[in-house]
Amino acid sequence: MAISDLLGGFADAITPVNLFFALLGVVLGTAVGVLPGIGPSMTVALLLPATFVLEPTAALIMFAGIYYGGMYGGSTTSILLNTPGESASIMTALEGNKMAKAGRGSAALATAAIGSFVAGTIATLLLALVAPTLVDLAIGVTTADYFALAVLAFVAVATVLGSSPLRGLASLCLGLYLGLVGTDVLTGQERFTLGVPQLSDGIDVVVVAVALFAVGESLYVASRLRKGSVQVIDHKGSWMTREDLRRSWKPWLRGTALGFPFGVMPAGGAEIPTFLSYATEKKLTRHPEEFGKGAIEGVAGPEAANNASAAGVLVPLLTLGIPTSATAAIILAAFQGYGIQPGPTLLTTEGPLVWALIASLFIGNVMLIVLNLPLVGLWVKLLKIPRPYLYAGILLFASLGSFAVNADPLDLVILLVLGLLGFAMRRFGWPVAPAVIGLILGPIAETNLRRALAISDGDLGVLVDTWFSRVVLLLALLALVVPVVLRAVRGRRATPEEVAREQEEDREVQKAANREGWGA
């Protein structure tokens, strides 16, 4: 059944209009994603307003291309500039930049591109096979179960991302508060609008996403990157040799196997599988002396894990309506912009759109590898854009895009305030993703909680009535408690000398990061 639906999706995706928007999304995503300090989350947030002028299928296909293109562009920046656009690209920068400095930049770019293609293709096929099965299981999910899923997403994202669970929870609470602004749909009462009529409909998710990711991130990165021209390493040299292929194909498959399951899990993200992939390849390699000096396995595995995780993120998003990463939250905002709510009924109500979107992921992967390897020189030229022009341009497009959503000047004020807030959050180590996920999932969690309590006449026991909600809430409790317990155990076991040594190592890492211009 899934295969026949997927073939129908291909029939829709290969129409001239949809192919054009897939190509446009791939090119735009790569062009913006390759710029220094701009990762996939910021790329899709910055270009989100542009999709709302299109028909839903074309817009979401373009958006998928932007997402994948942004991830590919991040690897180019990591390898040639040693500037990871996000934490998931740190491993790529570690070995890929060393390869570039040794005159093997082309081989590093090639293994990253082919690994992304292999991982993206396999993971998208798994998405097509897993999604209908998960939907069948989710059909019986109750409102209390949905509330439990939202709580798990909240806790997992808040505790996994960022430097501390407390900061993650604080960021989550900020997002939940922003989600409460507007009119209560059940009582008709306005909440936290401060007497401003325009806020009665709530704060637009697009404005918040662009402010926190694009404006806040660009201000933060611009404030920390060094002045002067960008030093880009020459990417010339031979592409992958037969020996490079022999050393890369197994890391591609292992990275895919690690990345997809972590993408499916709440707050699994791409960071953990990329680090695990790097550690795995370092342990299994026959060339341990090359690690830290430019090992091709250290680029192939993490890049495959990164892209497989991206496809895995779409499984809970499409089938349950639960975003498990910052980028997934922005994609959810794109769906909601068209009045479409992902969840168990999505394949039934919007089946052709979903399968066309999944098919477009295959097409986008092919476009990326066909276009980007020959066009590396073009992307390198983008890296040399003077930084004052670069970040001024980002702020300009962020402002134009946010204003275009509602054509309301108040949105520009909100963009400025939340953009400065996003800058402060990055400056003091508060993760941004929990705030965006709290804003989007908060109203959904509130609605399901109130419906469950209304059905049970206010009996809180309804929240743990089913085995599903019990298991999910138990997982949420473990996600909240386990990190605290582990920190306490490590603290008791560490001697003063070990603590001093770890602090010294942290300072050395920070100094090295500041010298490279990307440290947090």
pLDDT digits (tens, 9 = 90+) for 333-373: 888 878 888 877 888 888 888 899 999 999 988 888 887 77
266: left (phi over 0), alpha (psi -120 to 50) or beta: beta
Given a contact cutoff of 8 angstroms between Cβ atoms, the answer to whether 75 and 89 are in contact is: yes
Q: What is the largest CA-CA distance in the chain?
A: 71
Residue 437: name the closest of 173, 232, 257, 256 by CA: 173
Q: Which amino acid is at 480?
A: L
Residue 222: name the closest of 35, 497, 350 by CA: 35
CA angle 38, 65, 272 (to 5 degrees): 55
Which pLDDT tens digit goes with each residue over 443-452? 888 888 888 8
| Alpha-carbon gap, residue 207 to 411, rounded angstroms | 7
Structure-token match 């293109």, residue found:
69
| Alpha-carbon gap, residue 417 to 401, rounded angstroms | 16
Q: What are phi and psi of 232, to 5 degrees?
A: -100, 130
**What are the domain boundaries of the chain?**
2-515
Q: What are phi and psi of 270, to 5 degrees?
A: -105, -10
pLDDT 10s per residue in the chain (520 long)?
A: 577 888 888 888 899 999 999 998 888 888 877 776 566 677 777 777 776 778 888 888 888 888 888 777 778 877 877 766 566 677 788 888 888 888 787 888 888 888 888 998 999 888 888 888 777 776 677 788 888 888 887 887 776 555 677 888 888 889 889 888 888 877 778 888 888 887 888 887 778 878 887 788 778 877 776 555 556 565 565 677 888 888 888 899 998 998 888 878 765 566 678 878 888 888 888 888 788 778 888 888 888 888 888 888 888 888 878 777 777 778 888 888 788 888 778 888 888 888 999 999 999 888 888 877 777 767 767 767 777 777 787 788 788 877 876 778 888 888 899 989 989 988 888 888 788 878 878 888 888 888 888 888 888 888 888 888 888 888 888 877 776 776 677 655 544 544 455 455 455 444 544 444 443 3
Structure tokens at 381: 């030229």
Q: What Å distances lie between residue 502 and 103, 321, 492, 494, 498, CA to CA?
A: 34, 41, 15, 10, 6
Q: What are phi and psi of 506, to 5 degrees?
A: -60, -40
Burial of 40 (0-12, 13-18, 19+ CB in 10 A): buried
Query: Can you say how many angstroms the Cα of residue 117 is from the centroid of all Cα atoms in its chain?
Result: 18
Given a contact cutoff of 8 angstroms between Cβ atoms, the answer to whether 212 and 432 are in contact is: yes
Neighbouring CB atoms inside 10 A of 249's CB total: 15
357: left (phi over 0), alpha (psi -120 to 50) or beta: alpha
Residue 442: name the closest of 313, 309, 333 by CA: 333
Structure tokens at 290: 């090359």
| Alpha-carbon gap, residue 474 to 268, rounded angstroms | 17
